[in-house]
Chain A
Amino acid sequence: MNMTAHISDPPLKVHSARKKMRRKPIFSMDVVAPALKDAFVMLRPDVQWKNPVMFVVEVGAVLTLVYIVMALLGKSESQVPISYFVSLDAWLFVTVLFANFATAIAEARGKAQAESLRRTRRDTVAHRRLAGGATEEVSSTALRAGDEVVVDAGQIIPGDGEIVSGIASIDESAITGESAPVIRESGGDRSGVVGGTLVISDSIVVRITGASGESFLDKMIGLVEGAIRQRTPNELALTLVLSALTLIFLIVVIPLVPMAANAEQYMTAYLGLDKPLKSLGTDVPTLIALLVCLIPTTIGALLAAIGIAGMERALRNNIIAKSGKAVETAGDIDVVLFDKTGTITVGNRQATEFLPMAGYSAEEVSRLSAVASFADETPEGKSIVKAYEAKGNGSAALPAGARFVAFSAQTRMSGVDLPDGQRIRKGASDAIASFVKSLGGAVPDALRSVVERVASKGATPLVVANNGTVAGVIVLSDILKPGMKERFDNLRKMGLRTVMITGDNPLTAATIAAQAGMDDFLAQATPEAKLDYIRKEQAEGKLVAMMGDGTNDAPALAQADVALAMNAGTQAAKEASNMVDLDSDPTKLIEVVEIGKQLLMTRGALTTFSIANDIAKYFAIIPALFAGTLPWLKGIDVMHLHSPTSAILSAIIFNALIIPALIPVALKGVKYRSLGADALLRRNLLVWGVGGVVVPFIGIKLIDMVMTGLHLIA
């Protein structure tokens, strides 16, 4: 086990991610102003074309404008005043603007978030190493991949890279917001450093892996900013369905013209009038208004914003997703692989119990163990001292003149030689056995069974020898991180299977997995074993998420459907992943899954809401369309709206206003609760489905009442 690796284990950050979320009001001025400007810029037809639903609205608005101009030039034959058409057209344009604004504000927030990250990546002075070993000062922007730079304490690392030599503690708070410094060293899995972070102690040589401006993070931030935003497969499919719905409603509305003409002709004949009757049913701008009310403008307007906001939510959790697809896929994950160390358990095993052999008491064994470990700097050694002190023995010190015997691979034990000649050793049982025998002592028969019993519980037995006798056994156990069991339970409620990966033997792995409440474990995991495990799960149709940091994780990360690399990890791991966690917090996978689920839920909820809205609009508009020919259809106007024109205007105003009203939902997302799919569906169907049917009835009536009350409409 590589002891130094554990030093840099991130501190417990079970809830830190939530705490650190930089809450920001949705409509803060610094994003609203540019978003408003963008909303107008985005009126360009070539931009709208990408969003078929809103494109139809824009075309409708322009057509209505043409109609108004023609009516002004010629004489209006309609029986409704021109002001009706003007306000109708204004609201059509406002609908498009609201949609643009929703997208723009989501982009602006994403950009603001990315900007704050990028600010940390300002120009710095770099000390590039020359061939002879000397260094030259260059700007960090002049660095190219492959350059080696020397960074001393107090200097900022000029670019992303890997440590070639040296070890240093680094302050990554600029990126992660976490103030505790982390250790990075050459070789191994924690050699990656990020440009813009500060070296606090020591000196390192870094090989730059990405030229300035095209570093890994730069590229990813670019993605997040939406400059190269690609629509996800699900988003594309949904856009397709929304376009099809638009087409369907076009097919519903167009035949209304001849149908309404039929009613006009019939009533004219029935009443014996000379001049043909006219109804709004054959009036083009009104039919455009009906079409706009029916096509799913709400979700059409918010769809892009939902996707961008998903990326931005990830970013706020210090997770940079390489694509929207990765975030979306996270919602579908069935299996999550967690590394045991650092995620499930506290980095190292700790002494939890002292088992005495014949002739010794537990106190005696604990004291001997502590004495043997006073000078032992390993976490295990420290934990033994701590366990001794915790029993109320006060802090003790190594007696003067004692000589510490360090652990070596040959002896496989450590200990202390006291001045009085007493030799205390602790180590693996066979090593201690041979040590005792070498001093002429005897190994008690009971030792074997005690050691086996401890091992069978998944703990590590360390045997303590006092000169030629075996004093007892130290039990080193894995300590579960607090709060993790609850989080895994939550994952299970979300329908995910949790799997623990560990290099331990199956026995130990099983014990810890059971303690932590994991569903499965993969013991003695080699890179190949991890890869095979993921492939096996995927063959069963499951989607697998994994977090990793080492180069040897890269194949498994590349294979996993959602791969989250720790920012502290190697470049290979980061390249193979589709997300990077700047905090290097292994429990982040849970947040990632939640963000993915939230994204999909928000999309589903607003789509359902948008379509359910249409029912009320029909009840408002259809009676209005035929007030001039079939006045008794007023009977289905359950909202008792003031007049035909006020009914149509109320519907179109509601249709427009619901977009900004739902922007906060689109940006924040529908709250995800781990209730299980059925309860979640029931809840959301009630809120967004039934609510979607009911809300517009109330909304349209209110708008009608306000307009009538203020005498805004005839």
Chain B
Amino acid sequence: MKLWIIPIGLLLAATLCAIPLSRYFAWIMDGKFRPPRWLRFFEKALDTGEQTWKSYAVSLIVFNAGLFVTGFVVLALQPWMPMNQDHKGMLAPTTIFNSVVSFMTNTNLQHYAGDVNLSNFSQIFFCILNMFLSASVGFCALVAIIRAFRGQKTVGNFFVDMWRVFVYLFLPASILFAVFFISQGSPMSFQSSFQVTTLEPGSMGTNDKGEPARQTIVTGPVAALESIKMLGTNGGGFFGMNASHPYENPTAASNFFNTLAMMLFPFALVLMYGRMLGKMRHSWVIFSVMLLMMAGTIIWSVYFDTMKPNPAFTSRAASRTYDIPDKTAPGGKIDVCKPRVAGLPVDQHLGNLEGKELRFGTSAGATYAAVTTDVTCGSVNAEADALNPLAALAPLTGMWLNCIFGGKGVGLMNFLMFLILGIFLAGQMVGRTPEYLGKKIGGREVKLVVIALLMHPIMILLPVGLFAATPWGMKAESNPGPHGFTQITYQFSSASANNGSAFDGLGVSYGFNDNPNPAPEARAWDIATGLVMLFGRYLPIIAMIAMAGFLGEKKSAPFGLGTLRDDTVTFGFLLLGTVVVVGALLFLPLAALGPIAEQLGPIPFGG
């Protein structure tokens, strides 16, 4: 039972916080907050006037193009930038491309390790800056959609919205959480590293003179990065180890609030949606469906990881044999023999403990893995690669559906995509042509929704197929077979969902440009995932804004007895069914070939 304290506490706390937060968000975004004069000055300076959805979308794209250029410059010039006490060099160009795209798309897939490859200047002016801005972009896009749904001809001003989200929402929340993380022991410093003698001399090896080597401990503005990393569901760690590093996540308490931080904005945004549209009951239905799905992924993950043993080390795995029909083989079949490591006497009564930070509790890793992918944060506090195979299905599902709360703004946008599809396909069963918010869903709207919906599976399935059969993927995976397949699948799912968590075990890091010994296929991975992140982010956002723009223009029919109600339990089931069925149809083959094949098969980790 103790296992469930963390997940239940998190879901409860996040839901309770979301209610007042959503009120505050709606208040800010509706422009009802009158800031002090000096802040108003900035707001006025940024205000380029009310925009239609088209110019709003153009502003969004132009702004992101600016982010791309700035990010590229900061990273490419790292060796010549200040605050680089450890003289870190330049990353490989493909890695720079990948990282710049990764941070501007709110993905934070890291093909580098922050503690090894980035200077404090890059951490602040590339990572932290992008974390604030990319998180705000998704938020603003959703607000534009809400305004369009309300039937407004102009959907606000992108730059003013960015200012509001950045300054009135993210900044104060980040300061609050950063102070808390400092109190728990996270460093907050401009010094980049310390040389220390460890308690056990020689544990770090010896230098040329035979003296015990000193350990280099990397520090920096960790607390500042950590708070926006979680609040903005960015997920890119200061350290390569991310939230399992004791500086990023020092205590069990910091772990709880770390997890909670990434849930706050996505949770509150769903309720803000209802508040701004004046349809609270409707948004509670959406919220409940999302909450149910999140609870499902957490339960799945905890059950198969914390309560079940690693299937490879069980007597069942040792005793089963399988045969493959083959006419040419003697007896007409080939026996697949039992695994060599199965049946080792491993005590597994606490579940799978490999790759976990036990100071957080046994279920914390599995819980975190599910939550971080549901809300597309991508931060990790345990090794996803070491999860039990079936448990790994939970984070994968989170990224495939990409709408279990999801990232700020985009998660709800993705959910709206399913919602409109569901209404369009099944909603007709009430005997009316499909409508949402009283507006008829026509061909144009459906077309845009379908484009947005298509992007995600295309960006996962096609590259996975490509990499699975070519050296790009086969040389990069650490364990060939189903496990390696999961590694490839996870990487592209994470990129397309703009999640950013990594399964690990995949050789994708090139490192500094002068690295004599990079991972063999790192360049291919840099470019492929970079492109996937770009398409996976902007096409759906633009398509959904356009869809909202077109739908919003339509006349709104009054609500009647014959109208499909969007605030009932039945509607909730319609939504749940749509997301689950469509999700399953798209990704079941991947699930079967990866995690399920690994779980059922006799060969742990691909032999």
Contact = CB atoms under 8 A, between A and B. Distances in A.
A332 B442 contact: no
16 contacts: A248-B457, A251-B458, A258-B465, A258-B468, A266-B480, A329-B433, A332-B433, A540-B557, A600-B428, A600-B432, A622-B589, A629-B324, A630-B601, A635-B596, A676-B561, A680-B429
A527 interface: no
Interface in A346-389: none
Contact of A271 (B334, B441, B461): B334
Contacts of A612: 581
A271 B570 contact: no
Given A541-B556, A628-B324, A332 B432 contact: yes
Q: Which of A334, A598, A672 has the most CB of B within 10 A?
A: A334
Nearest to A290: B589
Interface stretch (B29-37, B236-244, B443-451, B502-510): B443-451
Contact of A251 (B438, B461, B570, B593): B461
Interface stretch (A203-211, A476-484, A582-590, A603-611): A603-611
Contacts of B570: 678, 681-682, 685
Given A493-B561, A605-B429, A676-B562, A248 B586 contact: yes
A247 interface: yes
Contacts of B555: 539, 541
Given A247-B454, A685-B574, A262 B468 contact: yes
A497 interface: yes
A444 interface: no
Given A79-B327, A611-B581, A241 B450 contact: yes
A695 interface: no
B324 A631 contact: yes
Contacts of B577: 685, 689
Given A259-B485, A604-B427, A677-B562, 15 more contacts: A79-B325, A237-B441, A240-B446, A255-B465, A256-B465, A263-B597, A331-B433, A495-B562, A539-B555, A541-B438, A608-B426, A611-B425, A633-B596, A678-B565, A678-B570
A598 B446 contact: no
Given A252-B585, A543-B557, A258 B426 contact: no
Contacts of B469: 257-259, 261-262, 265
B162 interface: no
Closest 8 CB pairs of A and B: A495-B562, A255-B465, A604-B428, A597-B431, A258-B469, A495-B561, A684-B429, A604-B429
At the interface, is chain A mostly helix, strand, loop or mixed?
helix
B560 A294 contact: no
A66 interface: no
A681 B581 contact: no
B12 interface: no
A270 B430 contact: no
Interface string A653-667: 000000000000000
A495 B438 CA distance: 14
Interface of B: 320, 322-328, 334, 336, 421, 424-434, 438, 440-443, 446-447, 450, 453-454, 457-458, 461-462, 464-466, 468-470, 473-474, 480-482, 485, 555-558, 560-565, 568, 570-571, 573-574, 577, 581-582, 584-586, 588-589, 592-593, 596-597, 600-603, 606-607
Given A275-B328, A331-B432, A497-B560, A252 B574 contact: no
B276 to A, nearest CB: 21
Interface residues of A, number: 89
A615 B432 contact: no
Count chain A CB atoms within 10 A of each CB in B328, B556, B561, B607 and give the residue with the most.
Answer: B561
A689 B578 CA distance: 10
A614 B585 CA distance: 7
A317 to B, nearest CB: 17
A233 interface: yes
Contacts of B328: 275
Given A257-B465, A331-B433, A618-B585, A241 B601 contact: no
A611 B593 CA distance: 22
A331 B466 CA distance: 47
Contacts of A628: 324-326
Contact of B336 (A238, A271, A493, A611): A271
Given A252-B585, A635-B600, A263 B593 contact: yes
Interface in A211-225: none
B165 to A, nearest CB: 33
A236 interface: yes
Contact of B428 (A240, A255, A601): A601
Given A256-B465, A258-B469, A681-B429, A495 B560 contact: yes
Please classify the interface of chain B as helix (H, G, I), strand (E, B), loop, or mixed, using the class held by over half of its residues. helix
A672 B431 contact: yes
A240 B431 contact: no
A313 to B, nearest CB: 14
Contact of B585 (A266, A496, A615, A684): A615
Contacts of A294: 585
A693 B584 CA distance: 12
Contact of A626 (B457, B466, B586, B593): B593
Interface in A533-554: 539-543
Interface in A668-703: 670, 672, 676-678, 680-682, 684-685, 688-689, 693
B430 A677 contact: yes
Given A258-B466, A601-B431, A630-B601, A677 B324 contact: no
Nearest to B561: A495
Contacts of B556: 541
A604 B425 contact: yes
Given A334-B560, A495-B561, A680 B485 contact: no
A518 to B, nearest CB: 16
A685 B468 contact: no
A492 interface: yes
Nearest to B444: A237
A292 to B, nearest CB: 14
A442 B481 CA distance: 112
Contacts of B450: 240-241, 244
Contacts of B606: 266
B581 A632 contact: no
Nearest to A670: B429
A512 interface: no
Contacts of A329: 433
A502 B558 CA distance: 25
A265 B573 CA distance: 42
A615 B593 CA distance: 16
Contacts of B574: 681, 685
A627 B325 contact: yes
A26 interface: no
Contacts of B485: 259, 262-263
Contacts of B430: 601, 604, 677, 680-681, 684
A496 B589 contact: no
B326 A277 contact: yes
Contacts of B582: 611
A255 B425 contact: no
Contacts of A241: 421, 424-425, 446, 450
Q: From B424, B430, B458, B593, name the one whose CB has the most chain A CB atoms within 10 angstroms.
A: B430
A79 B326 CA distance: 8
Contacts of B465: 254-259
Contact of B600 (A275, A611, A632): A632
A680 B557 contact: no
B314 to A, nearest CB: 14
A234 interface: yes
B584 A615 contact: yes
Contacts of B462: 251, 254-255
> In the complex, which of the residues A233, A493, A542, A611 has the most CB atoms of chain B within 10 Å of its own CB atom?
A611
